[in-house]
Structure 1
Amino acid sequence: MAATLVGGAFLSASVQTMIDKLTSAEFRDFINNKKLNVSLLKQLQTTLLVLQAVLDDAEEKQINNRAVKQWLEDLKDAIFAN
């Protein structure tokens, strides 16, 4: 059980790191300098924020809900599969 809790926390921390990097001034400057589509960046940020909320909720619920625990394990396996 502890491995699942750590795995879920790692997923959540990874998403938070991506959000932090995407919202940094340096990354925004890079996007603007390369004249890339800023609206796609905003859509990605929104998607990651929603994912973060889902993962946070799942981490709390996995303690009492086997289906949520299994979903987190499956997600972790899919993301970190070789």
Structure 2
Amino acid sequence: MATEINIEEIKNKAVHSDLLKAMYLINQARSIVSGTMDEKELRDAGQWDCLDDTVSRLNECSRDIGYIIGVTVTGRVELMMR
């Protein structure tokens, strides 16, 4: 007999809304920083590398939060399957 899984229930219980909000804000910040990388004044001031590093760190933060969300959802599914 197959166990039925309610995906919406898993998402609602497993994914912390503040983590999703953080993911959204990090992605928004990354877009803003990426957009400033084309500004001549910042390039002329030698800040392109710093901005590039910032974008890379924001990417890492986004990846880490995505990993946490994935582990949380996986754990919830495993508990439901027991």
Q: Above 0.5 in TM-score? A: yes
Q: Which residues of structure 1 form unaligned runs of 5+?
A: 67-82
Query: Bigger radius of gyration, 1 or 2?
Result: 2
1:17: which partner in 2? 28
Using the aligned pairs only, state the percent identity: 6
For residues 29 and 23 of structure 2, what CA distance do their matches in structure 1 show?
10
5+ unaligned residues in a row in structure 2: which ranges? Answer: 1-11, 77-82
Q: What is the alpha-carbon root mean square deviation over aligned residues? A: 2.4
Change (3 A) 1:32 1:43: same
Give the alignment of 1:17-56 within 5 angstroms.
Answer: 17-24=28-35, 27-28=36-37, 29=39, 30-32=41-43, 35-56=45-66
> Quick one: distance in 1 between partners of 2:42 and 2:13?
40
List 4+ stretches of structure 1 deviating above 4 A. Answer: 1-4
* Gap change, CA 1:49 and 1:13, over 3 Å in 2: same
Report how many residues are paired. Answer: 63
Cα displacement (A) at 1:32: 2.5
> Which of structures 1 and 2 has the larger relative contact order (alpha carbons within 8 angstroms, sep 6+)?
2
**Alpha-carbon distance in 2 for matches of 1:44, 1:36:** 14
TM-score by length of structure 2 reads: 0.62
